[in-house]
């Protein structure tokens, strides 16, 4: 399963890189969607259907809102000719940058490999708190879905904070966007 | 915001009610199956956003205000807070304590206060996302005028 996951992750990274370099805003948005929907498949493969449902709905809504904003705005990038020049001469500064990037990459790969070698195998939990949550959570909270039991019973205060964050975001957006209120 | 073509309108009439029912199902079965308040609320907001996108913002008698959904959102988070505070006065004095009887695991009416929390969080999330969308749409109309 790690092979499939890393394939999807590479696909998501390619989509993100294309979104930066795309000359059209609409195609950049659609390649942003690759990242979100790839994440949905990752959540499903890692057996987290709760997160997958939230991610697929939120991704669709944000894409719809952003596409409707882009379609109304004036798109200057369609009028321009692709006229930038490629500088192909390899000067000393560029060579220095490439050397620094390769050096940092090698150091990061070595340290990641050191860190991963000392981890447990995939899926083992070592935290004592999670074992206390998993043992008899259905009898303690009465909810058959363990995720909801943790969210609304063990961590009810956290969930209240998340809902308050959404409330604050709405208040901020209404304050900034309304023109009538400013007059 | 103007509406779209008649094909989009007909498909929206067929689909949006089903989406609304599915959101309610996800919210009310949040303690039994995957999902819950956040996911169901986002689906509810999605059905309303679909309606507004297809039929234009003249639907629902919007008339350039979003106070309705904003008030619903504020009331929902207030009810959520009241449910949490009520645990301080009932039984053991612990904030966010599950004070209703738990019932048998797997029934629809079980798990104490958790379904009520789910319902209020669902209303809050749906109204919040719809309010953000309405604010963007109304702001666009005010600028274009």
pLDDT for res B54: 83
pLDDT for res B48: 86
**Does A66 share its domain with A132?**
no
CA angle B122, B124, B125 (to 5 degrees): 70
- Chain A positions touching B105 (Cβ under 8 A) are 138-139, 142-144
- The answer to the question of residue A148 being in a domain is yes
CB pairs under 8 A between A and B: 137
Domain count for chain A: 2
- Segments in chain B below pLDDT 70: 1-3, 57-67, 91-93, 139-145
Q: What is the mean pLDDT of residues A124-138?
A: 72
Label each residue of chain B as H, E or C. CCCCCHHHHHHHHHHHHHHHHHHHHHHHCCCCCCCCHHHHHHHHHHHHHHHHHHHCCCHHHCCCCCHHHHHHHHHHHHHHHHHHHHCCCCCCCCCCCCCCCCCCCCCCCCCCCHHHHHHHHHHHHHHHHHHHHHHHHHHHHHHHC
A41 pLDDT tier (thresholds 50, 70, 90): very high
pLDDT for res A38: 92
- The answer to the question of residue A140 being in a domain is yes
Q: Is A141 in Cβ contact with B73 (below 8 Å)?
A: no
Residues 6+ apart with CB under 8 A from B24: B40, B44
**Does A68 share its domain with A1?**
yes
Domain boundary among A33, A55, A72: A72
- The answer to the question of residue B1 being in a domain is no
- The answer to the question of residue B105 being in a domain is yes
Q: Check whether A121 has a pLDDT greater than 80.
A: no
Please, what is the end-to-end C-alpha distance for chain A in angstroms?
Answer: 58
Q: State the nearest Cα–Cα gap between B9 and chain A, in angstroms.
A: 17
Q: Is A159 in Cβ contact with B74 (below 8 Å)?
A: no
Q: Report d(CA A38, CA B25) in Å as an integer.
A: 26
Residue with structure tokens 């195609």? A27
Minimum CA–CA partner of A142 in chain B: B111
- The answer to the question of residue A152 being in a domain is yes
pLDDT for res A86: 54
Q: What is the mean pLDDT of residues A160-177?
A: 84
- The answer to the question of residue A164 being in a domain is yes
Domain boundary among A26, A54, A72: A72
ipTM score: 0.76
Structural domain including A37 reads 1-72
Q: Report d(CA A84, CA B14) in Å as an integer.
A: 49
Count the Cβ atoms, other than its own, within 10 Å of residue A91. 8
- The answer to the question of residue A49 being in a domain is yes
Per-residue pLDDT tens digits for A56-87:
988 988 888 888 778 777 666 666 555 555 55
Label each residue of A83-127 as H, E or C. CCCCCCCCCHHHHHHHHHHHHHHHHHHHHHHHHHHCCCCCCCCCC
Q: What is the mean pLDDT of residues A29-36?
A: 90
pLDDT for res B1: 61
Q: State the nearest Cα–Cα gap between A97 and chain B, in angstroms.
A: 43
- The answer to the question of residue A106 being in a domain is no
Domain boundary among A72, A99, A117: A72
Which of A61, A64, A148 is nearest residue B36 as measured by Cβ atoms? A148
Residue B23 exposure: Cα atoms within 13 Å on the Cβ side: 26
- Chain A positions touching B98 (Cβ under 8 A) are 141-142, 153
- The answer to the question of residue A2 being in a domain is yes
Domain count for chain B: 1
Q: Is A142 in Cβ contact with B102 (below 8 Å)?
A: yes
Closest CA relative to residue B124, chosen from B87, B83, B85, B79? B79
Kindly list the residues of chain A whose beta carbon comes within 8 Å of any beta carbon in chain B. 49-50, 53-54, 57-58, 60-61, 64-65, 68-69, 72, 138-139, 141-145, 147-149, 151-153, 156-157, 159-160, 162-164, 166-167, 169-170, 173-174, 177-180
Which of A61, A144, A163 is nearest residue B77 as measured by Cβ atoms? A163
Most confident of A23-27, A50-54, B51-55, B58-62: A50-54
Interface test with A, best of B72, B85, B86, B96 (most A CBs within 10 A): B96
pLDDT for res A166: 86
Closest CA relative to residue B37, chosen from B83, B1, B6? B83
Rg of chain B over CA atoms, in angstroms?
A: 18
Q: Report d(CA A77, CA A28) in Å as an integer.
A: 12
Q: Report d(CA B41, CA A61) in Å as an integer.
A: 12
Structural domain including B15 reads 6-144
């Amino acid at each position: 399963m790690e092979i499939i996951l890393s394939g999807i992750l590479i696909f998501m990274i390619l989509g993100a890189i294309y979104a930066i370099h795309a000359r059209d805003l609409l195609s950049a948005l659609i390649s942003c969607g690759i990242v979100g929907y790839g994440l949905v498949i990752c959540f499903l493969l890692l057996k987290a259907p709760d997160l997958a449902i939230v991610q697929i709905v939120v991704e669709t809504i944000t894409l719809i809102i952003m596409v409707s904003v882009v379609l109304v705005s004036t798109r200057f990038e369609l009028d321009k000719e692709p006229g930038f020049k490629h500088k192909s001469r390899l000067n000393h500064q560029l060579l220095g940058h490439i050397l620094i990037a390769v050096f940092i990459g090698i150091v990061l790969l070595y340290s990641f490999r050191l860190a991963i070698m000392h981890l447990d195998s995939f899926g083992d939990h070592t935290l004592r708190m999670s074992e206390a949550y998993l043992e008899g959570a259905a009898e303690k909270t009465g909810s058959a879905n363990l995720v909801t039991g943790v969210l609304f019973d063990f961590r009810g205060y956290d969930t209240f904070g998340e809902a308050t964050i959404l409330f604050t975001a709405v208040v901020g957006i209404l304050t900034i966007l309304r023109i009538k209120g400013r007059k | 915001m103007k509406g779209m073509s008649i094909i989009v309108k007909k498909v929206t009439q067929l689909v949006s009610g089903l989406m609304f029912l599915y959101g309610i199902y996800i919210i009310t079965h949040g303690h039994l199956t995957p999902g819950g308040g956040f996911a169901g609320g986002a689906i509810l907001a999605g059905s309303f956003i679909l309606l507004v996108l297809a039929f234009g913002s003249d639907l629902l008698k919007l008339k350039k205000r979003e106070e309705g959904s904003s008030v619903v959102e504020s009331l929902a988070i207030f009810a959520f807070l009241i449910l949490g505070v009520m645990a301080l006065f009932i039984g053991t004095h612990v904030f966010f304590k599950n004070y209703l009887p738990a019932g048998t695991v797997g029934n629809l009416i079980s798990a104490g206060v958790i379904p009520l929390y789910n319902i209020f969080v669902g209303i809050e999330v749906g109204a919040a996302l719809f309010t953000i969308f309405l604010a963007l749409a109304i702001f666009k109309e005010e600028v274009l005028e």
